[in-house]
Amino acid sequence: MAPALLAALPGRMSLRSLKWSLLLLSLLSFLVMWYLSLPHYNVVERVNWMYFYEYEPIYRQDFRFTLREHSNCSHQNPFLVILVTSHPSDVKARQAIRVTWGEKKSWWGYEVLTFFLLGQQAEREDKVLALSLEDEHLLYGDIIRQDFLDTYNNLTLKTIMAFRWVTEFCPNAKYIMKTDTDVFINTGNLVKYLLNLNHSEKFFTGYPLIDNYSFRGFYQKNHISYQEYPFKVFPPYCSGLGYIMSRDLVPRIYEMMSHVKPIKFEDVYVGICLNLLKVDIHIPEDTNLFFLYRIHLDVCQLRRVIAAHGFSSKEIITFWQVMLRNTTCHY
What is the distance between the terminal CA atoms of the chain, rounded to a whole angstrom? 81
Residue-wise pLDDT for 149-193, tens only, equals 999 999 999 999 999 999 999 999 999 999 999 999 999 999 999
Please state the pTM of the whole predicted model: 0.85
C-alpha closest to that of 320 among 49, 96, 155, 165: 96
Which CATH class, in words, describes the domain spanning 51-211+234-325? alpha beta
Residue-wise pLDDT for 60-101, tens only, equals 999 999 888 656 687 889 999 999 999 999 999 999 999 999
Domains in the chain: boundaries: 51-211+234-325
Helix H, strand E, coil C: the string for the chain is CHHHHHHHHHHHHHHHHHHHHHHHHHHHHHHHHHHHHCCCCCCECCCCHHHHECCCCCCCCCCCEEECCCCCHHHCCCCEEEEEECCCCCHHHHHHHHCCCCCCCEECCEEEEEEEEEEECCCCCCHHHHHHHHHHHHHHCCEEEEEEECCHHHHHHHHHHHHHHHHHHCCCCCEEEEEECCEEECHHHHHHHHHCCCCCCCCEECCEECCCECECCCCCCCECCCCCCCECECCCEECCCEEEEECCHHHHHHHHHCCECCCCCHHHHHHHHHHHCCCCCECCCCCCCEECCCCCCCHHHHCCCCEEECCCHHHHHHHHHHHHHCCCCCC
Confidence of residue 40 (pLDDT cuts 50, 70, 90): very low
Residue-wise pLDDT for 3-23, tens only, equals 554 444 455 556 667 667 777
Calculate the alpha carbon distances from 284 to 43, 143, 210, 245, 306 in Å.
32, 31, 13, 13, 11
